[in-house]
Amino acid sequence: MTNFSRRKFLSTAGLATLATTAFGSNKKAITNDAPKQKLMHQVFYWLKNPDSAEDKQKLIDGLHELVTVKQIKYSHVGVPQVFKADDPLKGYQVSLLMVFDEPRGIDEYHKDDIHQKFVKECGELWIKTIKFDALAV
């Protein structure tokens, strides 16, 4: 195996491991329990003051604390990647992705004190959000 193909293999294997860890395997265990269905929740934030580095950092810091809610199994706080292609969601400043083991996890998350604190402390920073929820199939 050459160095190039070894690197490619290791990179591919690493991505496969990450995907399996974050989203689980599609194979279902044989049990009498109802199968769990993962839920992905993604939010895009448009800041009231989009040029304010302080507001952006406050939101990012708040999101990093928010994702400590125990029902969240995987999370990603991000900022937009600049693409040359047209992006229908361009203009947002921060994004959040959370994965729950099952749909009811998001209901528990919304009631959690950490979520309530986030909304109270950071809710005035944005003027618009777009949210997407998707169930694993």
Token match 């199939």: residue?
137
Question: For 36-135, which CATH class?
Answer: alpha beta
Query: What residues are paired with 42 via a beta bridge?
Result: 97, 132
First to last CA, the chain: 36
State which residues of the chain have pLDDT below 50. Answer: 1-21, 23, 25-32
The whole-model pTM stands at: 0.72
Per-residue model confidence (pLDDT) at position 35 = 64
